[in-house]
Amino acid sequence: MNPDSLIPKRVPFGDSFGERQRNMMEKIGLYDPANEHDACGVGFVARLDGQSNHEVVALGLRLVVNMTHRGAAGADADSGDGAGILIRIPDAFFRKFFGPDLPEPGRWGLGTIFLPLEEGASSRSRELVENQAEALGWRVAGWREVPIEPSALGKMAAETRPGIWQFAVASPARPGEDQEGLERRLYVLRKSLESKAIALGLSQDSFYLPSLSCRTVVYKGMMMASQVARFYPDLVNEELDSPLAVVHQRYSTNTFPSWRLSQPFRGLAHNGEINTIKGNRAWLAAREPNLSSPLFGEDIKRLFPLIEPDSSDSASLDNGLEFLRRGGRSLEHALTMLIPQAWGQKYPMSLNLRGFFEYHAGLMEPWDGPAAVVVSDGLSVAAALDRNGLRPARYSLTDDGLLVFASESGALELPSDRIIDKGSLRPGQMILAEVGSGRLLKNAEVKSVLARQRPYRRWVSENRIDIPGFFTMPTRFTKSLDDLPFRQTLFGYNRDDTEILLTPMASNGAEPNGSMGADIPLAALDQEPQSLFSFFRQQFAQITNPPIDPIREELVMSLMTFIGYDPNILSEEPRQARLVKLAHPFLSNDDLARLRDLKYEDFHSVTIDAVFPKPEKGESTGAALSAALNKLEREAEEAAQGGTHIIIVSDKKAGQSGQAGRAGQKGQTGRDSGGGRNDGEGGEGKADGRFYLPIPSLLAVAAVNRKLVEIGKRVSIGVVCQAGDALEVSHMAMLLSLGASAINPWLAFETVADLAGRGHLAAVMSCTTAVENYVLALRKGLLKIMSKMGISTLRGYRGAQIFEAVGLGPDLMEKYFPGIPSRIGGLGLSHIEAGAVKRAEKAHGYLPAGDDPGPKILPEGGTYRFRKGGQSHLWTAESVTTLRQAAIAGDYGTYKRYAAMINDQSQKAFTLRGQLDFKPGPPIPIEEVEPVSEIVKRFCTGAMSFGSLSKEAHETMALAMNKLGARSNCGE
């Protein structure tokens, strides 16, 4: 294919390289490139005395070559996932190319840029750089096409290769501006260039700046480590010198490599994955309207968006690090904010250091996931491990001041008699090499300095908002609630929920045990309405290995969170420590009452009703629910603009007749099972006689969250969900993942208290003890769910949106759940509304009438066990019995009868695969079809562990595969 034919005609710029790569990475069918991650080899070489020589560059190249096994290659085996090197700019080397009239060393900027190969497009792109630079007060002093050796590349890398250029920029010196100020202005210039290119329709694959700095320059590409020096002749030139070199060999997991995603980035090289990345990006974007700094002034608007579009998790982390570094923080300070160590109450550390981490925990959520990170600003170089320490990190220091850090020991051979210090980083630790000062700072020294640079401990202790009696179990419960069965049915409860889920949780303080898998219909296919929670599935960590154990790793796991974040992460002031600290996100009814009654003016709360009027019979078009959501968003916006810092989204008014509206902090009171106030129950104004249904809490929180983001108020406002439909651990996880700050599962509390009061629990216990056990089970279950995603802290999990939907339509998802995939489309607001109406009609049969208290026994449910008249199951007593008869008797006829039960049209009501059918087409001649004996040789049984299958099943499958000539794998 002629590369020129790929040039976009809609803009005056070409895109001859990267187009084929981008076509491969488009969102097609069920594939979305946004879900990709990578794992790699990382390291650095540095001279502590700051002596700049070519030997450091050569050692860096040898180091990355020795980590080739940590990278990956493409189908042609010569196209690597990416490799590169970051060094300090050798002024004398580049002055030869850009002329002697450059400013003094360190007072001019060097940029590296990937451009199209086609000359016309490349020329227009360079003109863009010059014009934009001139508009910001810079002068492009010259261009240099970087010498390369294309024959060093593999086929795929060569086909997608960009044109690689370097350019020098200079600017008149500003009074009092130091090198940090110059770097800051170069950062603004680079972000402006990126924004201008995007505005002109250029993708990052056709206009990308690997570096633009007065200190560092990056050489990288889509190649194997051994190809870097061959492809870039500069790197083997003896005149190219540096006192430090950061290197990286990429292993991209289930992703397509590209030139721009090779590492190092502008200041960071990363091994691992950031599991909270969606939330990190979203929270940083939500902060943008409120960011300010005298260091940037009005130029700060040129930096948005802070995270480059379509960037990887590593590139996004680099964007965050660069912003904090240019915003005035030191390299180690910025890194510690992004990837903090564990600092819980049981973790041994000084009070000053604990104050430092608590202060910054209230400023920014952690970028959580397995990570070994190397960062450099050209002056210093640092390395750090995540709080779990799930990536290797080793270092060695020689007697002449050569420091080597790498993903493994022995990555660079050093004479053993010259090594004076060596070690490995432990979980949450870091080292910092101050290149030029001769100092290597270990973890304790680095963090001791950070902890004492401000009185963080005092700021936290003086500004923390303590709520008396918070997180003590409620002391009062109603003795009985006559309409409890009515409320339970209205919110979708059944006997499975009370007997199989809530009873063990309240009795034992732990979730009940159950088998893997589910054979009930998918929520989108079920004839009976399922909870909105049932449409969502949590994703799992791609490369977190080994997984986090929330029991053994108790020290690094945390459910602590805050309400009241300050969105401006560029400032450091005592008021930013003014937060409500929650030990965990589950609020009892008493806790919620205390939160409502806070007397602090800056923590005023407002309750908004998440209910909608029941449509007339046969009118479930979604209009009533849509109008209620719009009203909910409007009231949330009014509260936020009015200075409210806590918005309580409550569905307690559901099932009552009255005017749904906002209730202020001093609103109406009502009965509450925790003895607290219930401001959301009763509304304002006269009753209008309409019956109100609950908006699904997940949808209500999503709507409020989206509106607050839209108006730039999300970060500073806590969203507390008072939810009647949330009772399982997974329900709580979904609400938190969508941004809820805390949850009050009021109806679950009422149900648990009722079970205890009627003596239905495993042991005789008080209502208070039962609710306490239930909350304990929620906490333990939430830690387990977080650990499956490789996330250690609730602050990182909250808002991370690590779920996907199955069976919800694009209109619903784009409006209320943006960023969450729903690959097959599906249902909308009208179906959700119809489900609420159907539950309400069923609930009316449970209302007390006169002296008749109404029925007390809830519907069977049948989700977790087959019950006649309950939920449909694919595996029934009949189907399982038939399968056993076929297996025991070896009767193929009986097996075919079993197969018909599973494979016939009834399966369409259960699974997605049941929706598939063969398209009619012309028959294939039988002689063109492989015989069965050959086809089965390609069969295999996947790696299923001994914990999931019995010994007999494993042996039977192994024997069968051996007889067929196929393959089996036990998974152990």
DSSP state string for 270-315: EEE--TTHHHHHHHHHHHGGG---TTTGGGGGGG-SSSPTT--HHH
Strand duo 380-385 + 394-398: pairing = unpaired
Q: Do 612 and 656 meet the contact criterion of CB atoms below 8 Å apart? A: no
- The amino acid that residue 849 corresponds to is A
Residue 1 CB burial class (10 angstroms; 0-12, 13-18, ≥19): exposed
The neighbour count for residue 200, using CB atoms within 10 Å, is 15
Opening angle at CA 505, ends 756 and 608, nearest 5: 85
| Strand ranges (E), 663-723 | 692-694, 718-722
Q: Do 293 and 327 meet the contact criterion of CB atoms below 8 Å apart? A: yes
Going by C-alpha positions, the residue among 345, 578, 573 that lies closest to residue 461 is 578
According to the model, what pLDDT value does residue 311 have? 87
According to the model, what pLDDT value does residue 945 have? 67
The per-residue pLDDT for range 137-177, each reduced to its tens digit, is 999 999 999 999 999 998 888 989 999 999 999 998 888 89
What is the Cβ-side half-sphere exposure of residue 171, based on CA atoms within 13 angstroms?
A: 25
According to the model, what pLDDT value does residue 915 have? 81
Question: How far apart (Å, rounded) are the C-alpha atoms in residues 256 and 205?
Answer: 13
Opening angle at CA 444, ends 438 and 446, nearest 5: 50
Enter the pTM of the model.
0.88
Question: How far apart (Å, rounded) are the C-alpha atoms in residues 763 and 407?
Answer: 53
Going by C-alpha positions, the residue among 581, 579, 585 that lies closest to residue 565 is 579
The per-residue pLDDT for range 104-139, each reduced to its tens digit, is 998 999 999 999 999 999 999 999 999 999 999 999
According to the model, what pLDDT value does residue 618 have? 64
According to the model, what pLDDT value does residue 876 have? 84
According to the model, what pLDDT value does residue 27 have? 63
The neighbour count for residue 533, using CB atoms within 10 Å, is 22
The answer to whether residue 40 is catalytic is yes
Longest dimension (CA), the chain: 100
According to the model, what pLDDT value does residue 77 have? 67
- Single out the catalytic residue among 40, 214, 721, 767: 40
Q: Do 523 and 894 meet the contact criterion of CB atoms below 8 Å apart? A: no
According to the model, what pLDDT value does residue 905 have? 56
User: Which residue has 């949808």 as its token pair?
Assistant: 699
Going by C-alpha positions, the residue among 74, 84, 69, 68 that lies closest to residue 24 is 74
According to the model, what pLDDT value does residue 682 have? 39
Question: How far apart (Å, rounded) are the C-alpha atoms in residues 777 and 502?
Answer: 10
Question: How far apart (Å, rounded) are the C-alpha atoms in residues 273 and 762?
Answer: 43
The neighbour count for residue 552, using CB atoms within 10 Å, is 9
According to the model, what pLDDT value does residue 555 have? 85
Sheet containing 605-609, strands listed edge to edge, beginning at the edge strand earlier in sequence: 605-609, 646-650, 718-722, 742-744
What is the Cβ-side half-sphere exposure of residue 66, based on CA atoms within 13 angstroms?
A: 18
Q: What residues contact 152, with CB distance under 8 A and at least 6 apart?
A: 223, 227, 230, 231
The per-residue pLDDT for range 752-800, each reduced to its tens digit, is 999 998 888 877 788 889 999 999 999 999 999 998 888 999 999 999 8
Per the prediction, the chain carries an average pLDDT of 86
According to the model, what pLDDT value does residue 85 have? 97
Q: What residues contact 59, with CB distance under 8 A and at least 6 apart?
A: 45, 245, 402, 404, 412
According to the model, what pLDDT value does residue 930 have? 93
Q: Do 327 and 296 meet the contact criterion of CB atoms below 8 Å apart? A: yes
Tell me the chain's radius of gyration from C-alpha atoms: 31
Question: How far apart (Å, rounded) are the C-alpha atoms in residues 236 and 224?
Answer: 16
SS3 at position 252: strand
**Number of residues in the chain:** 972
SS3 at position 537: strand
According to the model, what pLDDT value does residue 6 have? 24
Orientation of helix 767-788 relative to helix 729-737, angle to 10°: 60
According to the model, what pLDDT value does residue 914 have? 81
Strand duo 244-253 + 83-88: pairing = antiparallel
Residue 298 dihedral angles phi and psi, to the nearest 5°: -70, -20
Torsion angle defined by CA atoms of residues 677, 681, 685 and 691, in that order, rounded to the nearest 10 degrees: -170
Segments in the chain below pLDDT 50? 1-25, 31, 33-39, 254, 478-480, 658-687
Give the containing element (helix H, strand E) for 704: helix 697-710
The per-residue pLDDT for range 537-565, each reduced to its tens digit, is 988 766 555 567 787 788 889 999 999 89
